Chain A
């Protein structure tokens, strides 16, 4: 009986003792089609970064152990399932597991649903990957942040690259998945191209179902139309199927094909991608990452631990952690060394600038909650059996991200007017 009492008391006191740890909820795809290209690379990055930070081995200024001296404890959650499930599980994370903050979410639908819930529960959440600009364009939040740029950047960057790489292009076509991501990506790209090349002709816009897998008919339609440029925001299985089915038929040779999330296919499918295909990494990640100390640390450590290359989802997760860490520590210092509240961390993260393996991240728009970065695109070239990128062009953040307070679609339509 005494043992039971002791155990109960210990259990009640335990949360207080464990409060030394910083509990972070990490939400990303552990199952389903999004696991391989985004979820697992992101999870791996999270685990690597946390391990390194907890050992105090991060590069300056990330040298402090964990977050401000307290070890990081990760609670991992699968992002698969309906929005209802995700909202339920987010509430459980916050109210049952009592996490200090949440980093995660790849799916734009989930991000949109979670944002108001985070506000309601007053819990800091950092979206690390989802692309829709709507989050901070349609609403403003105190507790919600995104340390990666929006998908607008990808489409505008793609259009700029097309103009640079194929200035004589007269027609475009697209093959995108028929859901919000694909529709928005194509929509923005089409708008941007029309601004840059006013008489551009749109030959066809193929919108197959998500995860259709069989694209013979779409490829035939694209090849009959003979556009100068083909745009695709396909990812994972669909992207690989497109490459595997389109490559042998000469799709990429006939038209300049730009794959805005192509970087994820680079490592697995490398030798199958025809030369000259334009690959995007949703920002300065992967092959486009700068040669700075952070990238050396991240790339070297990640490859050393997992024996495979990190992709852009890994980079985004890494910088999500780094940005929050810096803000946490800044808030902690301002708080006299005591654990900061979510409000204090939010205040420190807002409008901040930090460095990561992808370069400089500036929380410049969305009232200081949304990050902007430069972007880069390049073309593939098989050299000695290894896939590399050549003809890389970089575009500064201001050229590919809308200014503060302006909606992406309006900004593009205005001819990319800076404020």
Chain B
């Protein structure tokens, strides 16, 4: 059996991040943390993409995760970062479990559009809800770690480190999942669903499970993003946010569980560079950059690494 390099890669990245973190300038640490949060959502999307499904409404769970984490602080005064992530995961997972009964039956563009409609309904509900601040949203308490409130210099690192640990553990878990029979069903569903049914497996069940996993990942990502940015608003459920995640997923490619994080980081860099260099035409720069990447790197970012590996 081929040697599985991915856990090694994950471990190496984790060590690098944790060790190098304190030396990073704060703004860079912020960007990496956001990339980790977005990468988690993209990881879930990657999972669905392997089965041929694209969710245009993943922002639904991202937003739910964020609001769950925020609600913990606002209504219960809890600000422990792991509790926040857990709340995000739970809220997203629960909703996905319920909605999955409906969505697991859809394929192709209709899966995408129905998920879009659902995320926009959440958006509408949140905008109408003045108790939660409507479009202005509300701020979230800074995270504490196991009851300790880190000092202002360390709170960023604490969030960053927790994010890195949780995210990479989740990535490892997803990687393992993809090697299980249920996980391996994904590309089979993409290729020929009817044959999958003939083999005795339930495509619907597999899709439902994948959908919930993807939602949980997005929920954790949302909670992380909320505590990093410090603010939660309904925009997190808007279709343009979903669009960003899809872009990151396609950018990254489906080659490895680490790819979505790299893609998210690249997206963040491109976005910020566009703002910096062309404040009056950043949309053009962003669109052009993304177009170039899609055209010249059709397999996503990760194909750069894969090509090298296969040549050796």
Contacts and interface: CB of A to CB of B under 8 A. Distances in A.
19 contacts: A30-B279, A31-B282, A76-B279, A81-B275, A84-B34, A84-B229, A89-B275, A92-B27, A96-B27, A112-B133, A112-B138, A113-B233, A115-B139, A117-B230, A132-B136, A134-B136, A180-B136, A181-B135, A183-B130
Contact of A180 (B135, B152, B225): B135
Contact of B229 (A83, A92, A180): A83
B90 to A, nearest CB: 23
Interface in A101-117: 108-109, 112-113, 115-117
Nearest to B152: A120
Which 10 residue pairs of A and B lie closest in terms of their CB atoms, listed nearest first? Answer: A113-B231, A179-B135, A180-B136, A180-B134, A95-B27, A180-B135, A109-B136, A87-B229, A91-B27, A78-B279
Q: Is the interface of A mostly helix, strand, loop or mixed?
A: helix
Interface residues of A, number: 34
A83 B280 contact: no
Interface in B121-154: 127-128, 130, 133-139, 152
Contacts of A178: 127-128
Nearest to B226: A84
B271 interface: yes
B26 A88 contact: no
Interface in A40-97: 76-78, 81-85, 87-89, 91-92, 95-96
Interface in B215-232: 225, 229-231
B272 interface: yes
B280 A109 contact: no
A96 B275 CA distance: 13
Nearest to B134: A180
A77 B276 CA distance: 8
Interface string A22-33: 000000001100
A73 B301 CA distance: 39
B110 interface: no
A120 B154 CA distance: 12
Contacts of A180: 130, 133-136
A96 to B, nearest CB: 5
A83 B229 CA distance: 8
A95 B25 contact: yes
A113 B229 contact: yes
B136 A112 contact: yes
Interface string A294-321: 0000000000000000000000000000
B122 to A, nearest CB: 15
Given A109-B231, A112-B231, 10 more contacts: A76-B279, A78-B282, A84-B34, A87-B229, A109-B136, A109-B233, A113-B139, A179-B127, A180-B130, A187-B130
B31 interface: yes
Contacts of A120: 152
Contacts of A31: 280, 282-283
B241 interface: yes
Contacts of A134: 133, 136
A373 B25 CA distance: 41
B247 interface: no
A263 to B, nearest CB: 23
A85 B233 contact: no
Interface residues of B, number: 35
Contact of B275 (A78, A112, A116, A183): A78
A89 B152 CA distance: 20
A88 B279 contact: no
Q: Is the interface of B mostly helix, strand, loop or mixed?
A: helix
Given A82-B241, A95-B25, A179-B134, A87 B230 contact: yes
Contacts of A179: 127, 134-135
B106 interface: no
B233 to A, nearest CB: 5
Interface string B106-120: 000000000000000
A92 B28 CA distance: 9
A83 B233 contact: yes
B235 interface: yes
A82 B235 contact: yes
A112 B279 contact: no
A108 to B, nearest CB: 5
Interface in B1-30: 25-27, 30
Nearest to B31: A88
A82 B272 CA distance: 13
B232 to A, nearest CB: 9
A92 B272 contact: yes
A183 B137 CA distance: 13
A133 B235 CA distance: 21
Contact of B135 (A87, A89, A96, A109): A109
B160 to A, nearest CB: 13
Nearest to A114: B231
A108 B138 CA distance: 11
A83 B34 CA distance: 12
B267 to A, nearest CB: 11
A28 B156 CA distance: 27
A78 B280 contact: yes
B119 to A, nearest CB: 15
A34 B134 CA distance: 19
Contacts of B279: 30, 76-78
A179 B130 CA distance: 9
B262 to A, nearest CB: 18
A44 to B, nearest CB: 14
A412 to B, nearest CB: 15
Contacts of A181: 135
Contact of A85 (B152, B271, B283): B271
A82 B59 CA distance: 13
Nearest to A113: B231
Given A82-B241, A95-B27, A112 B139 contact: yes
B233 A77 contact: no
A77 B137 CA distance: 22
A87 B128 CA distance: 24
Nearest to A134: B136
A416 to B, nearest CB: 22
A79 to B, nearest CB: 10
B32 to A, nearest CB: 11
Interface string A128-166: 000010100001000000000000000000000000000
B89 to A, nearest CB: 20
Given A31-B280, A77-B275, A88 B137 contact: no
Nearest to B268: A88
Interface string B196-230: 00000000000000000000000000000100011
B127 A116 contact: no
